[in-house]
A and B are shown apart, each in its own frame.
Chain A
Amino acid sequence: MAGKERAAGGPLEGIRVLDVSIMAAGPWTGALLGMLGAEVIKVEPPAGDGTRWVMPTQKGMGTNFISMNVNKRNTTLDLKRLEGRAAALALLRTCDVFVQNFRGGVIERLKLDYEAVREVNSKLVYCSISGFGETGPLSKAGCADPIMQAFSGFARANGAPGEGLEAFRFTGFIDLTTAAVATEAILAALLEREQTGAGQKVEVSMLEAALEIQYTRIAELLGAGLVPCPRGSASPAAAPDRAYAALDRYVFMTVRGESEWQGFCAAIEQPGLASDSRFATNALRVENRDALDALIEPILRARPAIWWLRACARHGVAAGLAYDFETFRHHAQIVENGMIARLHTPHWGEISVGGLPWHFSRTPGAVRAPAQPGENTDEILAGLPGTVAAGHAGDA
């Protein structure tokens, strides 16, 4: 795309966001809106967002905090005090989006609930993020990523065949899923505002997000009564679709439709398999997957993974290897597509965070380093009527 065609900001340039959330699900919502070009102001309580102390740190700052608060300016406000609340309301008069994820009941005590905030800005899109939702028996229960992995069935779909469960030892995935869903919902509400002129409240829970990321498994459950369970590296939907031991290491392979099946049989040099009636359709291959695996396992084990990668590539079959941070961070595919963003921060050095998930041709947006806690308090509050900073800048 020609340089003159590209606007500097993202598609949400001109949108202003007040983000009083802490930890991950709320903060990454603000971060995504910032990556889309919105101006985002993070408000931290005087005690600080707890992620600043979550291990590991880099030059003293929690890496969790850095990654979840990109594209934000930062101000400290004590929302429990009258002047802190007044400052927040004054800011909200100038904002398009509000993001909060306090435990159930807290935002009402702070008198920053939707009814109160709508009084000062009826055009505001008010996004409230919770663990279990705002109604129901668990609406006041605290939540966190591994809690929702357990509650939602997410963990019970992982593990070796026959095992009961295995949690994803990758903290924050459900948090970030929640943020992605919240951003989808906020965008829908911003678009609706274009037609009606009115803002609205948007409620997103980690429970809804955890069930959205399981959409296909939930579909199989609702549509055909199949309860998700651990299947090793295999999937319920297609076969072959799992990791196979090659001579030297595991290779991950997937066959879906009929053309891929024909390609797979060619790649493993088994033309007879392609006409074997036991494996003629995906449904039959799933039904007879043990017999199929018994045939192909010894074939795959006889040659190194690289052989199968080349053979699969020649025949249009998906195949790959498992990587880790050190083997993918400089991978040309990942670098050229900007999937990881390298940030130069004034205080914490160079740090890698997730890249933009979307690449807009005309309004690309960017990932930018977060401000330090309290760094922008004075400039943000300057000019707001009748407010003073409740915390002080630079208390990190």
Chain B
Amino acid sequence: MPEMLESVKVIELAEGGAGPLAAARLADLGAAAIKIETGEGDWMRGAVPSMPGGMGAAFFHLNRGKRSLALGSRPEAARPLLRALAAAADVFVTDRDDAELERLGVADAGDARLPGNPRLIVVRLSPMGRKGPLAGAKGSELTVQAMAGYTRYLGAQGEPPLRLGADVASMGTGIFAAQAVLAALYRRKRDGRGQRVDLSLLNSLLSMKSIHLAAQSDPDVYSGPRVGGANNPPERGWKTADRPIFFQFGGSVGAEGRAGWAAFVRDAGMSRLLEDPRFDQNGRTTTGHGVKVHEVREEYEKEFARFPAETLVSLVRKHAGNAAVYARADEALAHPQTAALGIVQEVTTREGAKAKVRAFPARFSGMTPQLKGSAPLLGEHNEAIAAEAGFPGRGYSDLVDSGALRAAGR
């Protein structure tokens, strides 16, 4: 079966997480991706921890399936090559600003106005947006989490701030960037033309904050986790005989939700809670993110101390509630459910070794993404890419001699 994006050529002039994730997922769907690097290369190459051989582990996973073109000490000398690559590309993903694209001679391409390639789709990534007073300012996963108010929902007032351990701004933007490319490709099928799409890390986190933005707009009553979460104590679930769990009753349909809480309470030998006026009769206010959770957590924990976490999780599920043990990521990956979905797949690397990678995050009945197994060394494909773009042999040597391209073996 041919891969779905087989004829799609992507050039990526981006580093870190967002642009590379988008291009890696497009490569999994069959696109041919060229990664263009300047200076010392993508900083992720040197991120910790590294794999045997020294390549950053995250770099490997974010750049599987790409070829690398490394510019040299005089990147402006690479203009003819970069313009040739842009002229032949379907998609150009970049996190460089206008001034840098100007220096590299591809400002018009960066604005989806490259003469001769009206079909080019350009994805522009920035920390904090294309326009506005901070348009050119530096930003990072951390600074954007703080600016979007995400750090307020972790930790406690008066204590040092915390971040989310997951790189939610960059990975979220990577997902949105892949959407942008696919949607623009779909549109191009209709009218034959590309366009420019702008995304930013800060924008992504605010788009994904929609529930909380709405909750804080003009609420009838300032109540519930969506407005109170930032002022609540750290959320570490309910202690049991061994590991903590999270559980909830309530439900998703109608005003009252599903039954189940009372039966769970009886089944677990905690019937005294049925007589306690602090507990409602369907568990909505005292489980999950209910408004009385902090008030009565200890009452549950007194009872939960008799049960191992897994036993309680089964009991809650038996009565149509939701529950899970707080697991580490390695435990999550080792769980039979994760295995059943094929979430981790094995690929073959350039050295012929096996490597485990995170599969494409969806399953399709009509196609199978082909996960790629090798990430490129810095400038590994300089000669081949230059030749394909019209600079074979002597042309390539001239590019190296002029400082346009990084010399091989450096």
Q: Choose, from B261-269, B336-344, B381-389, B397-405, the stretch at the interface.
A: B336-344
Query: Which residues from chain A contact B185 at a C-beta distance below 8 Å?
Result: 191
Residue of B nearest to A140 (CB): B317
Q: Choose, from B78-86, B100-108, B136-144, B273-281, the stretch at the interface.
A: B136-144
Known A185-B364, A191-B182; judge A219-B62 contact (CB<8 A).
yes
B64 smallest CB distance to A (angstroms): 10
Residue of A nearest to B139 (CB): A318
B214 smallest CB distance to A (angstroms): 4
Which one of A149, A221, A359 lies within 8 Å of B198 (CB-CB)?
A: A359
Interface membership of chain A positions 180-202, coded 1 if the CB is closer than 8 angstroms to chain B and 0 otherwise: 11111101111110111011111
4 A-B pairs closest in CB distance = A157-B165, A136-B340, A223-B57, A153-B329
Which one of A142, A201, A226, A237 lies within 8 Å of B321 (CB-CB)?
A: A142
Residue of A nearest to B122 (CB): A361
Query: Which residues from chain A contact B204 at a C-beta distance below 8 Å?
Result: 357
Do residues A337 and B129 form an inter-chain contact, with CB atoms below 8 A?
A: yes
Query: Which residues from chain B contact A387 at a C-beta distance below 8 Å?
Result: none
Known A238-B48, A354-B208, A358-B199; judge A132-B337 contact (CB<8 A).
yes
Category for how many chain A residues contact B: 35 or more
Known A216-B58, A360-B195; judge A334-B206 contact (CB<8 A).
yes
Q: Which parts of B302-333 form the interface with A (CB within 8 Å)? A: 317, 320-333
Report Cα–Cα, A214/B174, bound state, in Å: 12
Report Cα–Cα, A216/B172, bound state, in Å: 12
Which one of A142, A180, A205 lies within 8 Å of B179 (CB-CB)?
A: A180
Report Cα–Cα, A157/B154, bound state, in Å: 12
Do residues A189 and B332 form an inter-chain contact, with CB atoms below 8 A?
A: no
Total cross-chain contacts (CB, 8 A): 598
B410 smallest CB distance to A (angstroms): 16
Q: Does A279 contact B (CB under 8 A)?
A: no
Q: Does A258 contact B (CB under 8 A)?
A: yes
Category for how many chain B residues contact A: 35 or more
Which one of B149, B196, B211, B252 lies within 8 Å of A63 (CB-CB)?
A: B211
Do residues A182 and B166 form an inter-chain contact, with CB atoms below 8 A?
A: no
Do residues A355 and B220 form an inter-chain contact, with CB atoms below 8 A?
A: no
Query: Which residues from chain A contact B343 at a C-beta distance below 8 Å?
Result: 207-208, 211
Known A167-B237, A188-B29, A213-B168; judge A250-B139 contact (CB<8 A).
no
Report Cα–Cα, A281/B146, bound state, in Å: 26
Known A232-B160, A337-B130; judge A362-B362 contact (CB<8 A).
no
Report Cα–Cα, A83/B221, bound state, in Å: 39
Known A149-B246, A150-B237; judge A222-B356 contact (CB<8 A).
yes
Which one of B21, B229, B257 lies within 8 Å of A169 (CB-CB)?
A: B229
Of residues A204, A254, A351, A357, which shows the largest number of chain B Cβ atoms within 10 Å of its Cβ? A357
Report Cα–Cα, A222/B361, bound state, in Å: 16
Interface membership of chain A positions 53-92, coded 1 if the CB is closer than 8 angstroms to chain B and 0 otherwise: 1111111100110111000000000000000000000000
Interface membership of chain B positions 205-234, coded 1 if the CB is closer than 8 angstroms to chain A and 0 otherwise: 011111111111111111111110110101
Do residues B255 and A53 form an inter-chain contact, with CB atoms below 8 A?
A: yes
B49 smallest CB distance to A (angstroms): 4
Of residues B159, B255, B326, B329, which shows the largest number of chain A Cβ atoms within 10 Å of its Cβ? B329
Q: Which parts of A209-231 form the interface with B (CB within 8 Å)? A: 209, 211-231
Report Cα–Cα, A350/B148, bound state, in Å: 21
Q: Does A256 contact B (CB under 8 A)?
A: yes
Query: Which residues from chain B contact A224 at a C-beta distance below 8 Å?
Result: 49-51, 57
Can you list 9 A-B pairs, Cβ within 8 angstroms, ordered by A? A64-B215, A67-B210, A150-B245, A153-B329, A153-B331, A167-B237, A204-B363, A237-B56, A357-B204
Query: Which residues from chain A contact B225 at a C-beta distance below 8 Å?
Result: 169, 171
